[in-house]
Amino acid sequence: MAKQTGVIKLIGKLGENSYYYTKDNGYLVRKITSVDAERIRTDPAFARVRENNTDFGRCAWGVKLLRAAFIQLFAGAADTRMTSRLTQAVMAAMQSDTTNMPGKRRPESGDIGLLRGFEFNKGTSLKRVLKATYSTDVDHERGVCTITIIPSDKKLVLQHADAARFRFVMGVARIDFKTGAHSVEHIRSAVMSSRMVARTPLTFTSRIMPVEDEFLFITLGVEYLRKVDREYCVVEDKKYTVLTLIHVEKACWKKEKKTAHGKNHISLQWRITRAVRLRPAVCINRTAIKRYNLFSMCNPYVPKPELPNPLESTLDTFYGSS
């Protein structure tokens, strides 16, 4: 990738070159490609490119749902590369899909658990800011998600020089990647002092619970606050504000589906058994006897036919003849 080092900085197209600006690398220039969109759509040589584009489209769909669920929480904490990093993480989860071929991969078929531990702010991490331990518990029977923060002998969070207060922020979301349906609940704790040393665990609960083919995502973060005109305002400092995806799981109801399928299978087999009960063999024997009696009256030399056994004929009809 060529860089612009001259005094005049260009942005746009000039001849066969394209000039543009990036925040990390400054002014860059690259050559315009000669491949047009129509050739990519129709040329067999670009079949692999079309498959990758299809997978990337589904990946962008999953990223859009995650962003829509937690945008109110990471709006002040996310770095400029958050969307690209999240796209890369979702694409890595899609590539773990072993059931679908390239071009047909989906986020829900891959290992979404790879997103666990994703930091919405690359400038810091939850491990650095939070000095206590945490745990998550999902009770499917009661329909309750619980987030517990277990304090230690130290302070709860890293102390900020310009903000003496903080609060915990949590997000619980259920997302269906097939239909795009999602439900979100945002939880914010009470305002606490950053110098406080807690002695008892802090527990937060949510009633958001995924159903079949839905995923559950839980985020945990810390916001620092500053008092301005008797109101607390969030301090947007990339070195301290943090939000992390701490829990990912998929709803599973295999046991109930298996039981219902088993009952239907037994009921269907019982109907088939009653339907073939001895009737075919009996009908065949009666027809053969009538034909023998009719021909024996006209011709006394007609041999007596060998009639099948009704029980053997019924078993062959039900299980199949060998």
Q: What's the CA dihedral at 29, 35, 38, 42 to 10 degrees?
A: -140
Q: 196 pLDDT band (50/70/90 cuts)?
A: confident
Q: 314 pLDDT band (50/70/90 cuts)?
A: very low
Please name every residue paired with 217 in a beta bridge, in sequence order, or none if there are none.
173, 248
Share of the chain above pLDDT 70, in %: 76
pLDDT of residue 10: 79
Q: Is it the case that residue 214 has pLDDT exceeding 70? A: yes
Task: Give the neighbor-by-neighbor strand order of the sheet with 144-150.
Answer: 133-139, 144-150, 202-206
Pair (314, 200) in one structural domain: no
Interatomic CA distance for residues 233 and 249, integer angstroms: 34
Interatomic CA distance for residues 87 and 177, integer angstroms: 15
Per-residue pLDDT, averaged over 257-262, amounts to 40
Pair (116, 17) in one structural domain: no
Pair (188, 308) in one structural domain: no
- Range of 22's domain? 2-34
Listed range (145-149, 155-159, 173-177, 261-265) with the worst mean pLDDT: 261-265
Most confidently predicted of 4-13, 80-89, 292-301: 80-89
**Distance in angstroms between the alpha carbons of the first and the last residue of the chain:** 73
Task: Note whether residue 198 is domain-resident.
Answer: yes
Task: Report the number of distinct structural domains present in the chain.
Answer: 3
Name the CA radius of gyration of the chain, rounded. 35
- The pTM score is 0.70
144 contact partners, CB below 8 Å, separation of at least 6: 138, 205, 206, 207, 209
pLDDT of residue 259: 39
Task: Note whether residue 39 is domain-resident.
Answer: no
**Continuous segment of H or E residues that includes residue 169:** strand 165-175
Pick the last residue of a domain from 224, 252, 280.
Answer: 252
Q: 260 pLDDT band (50/70/90 cuts)?
A: very low
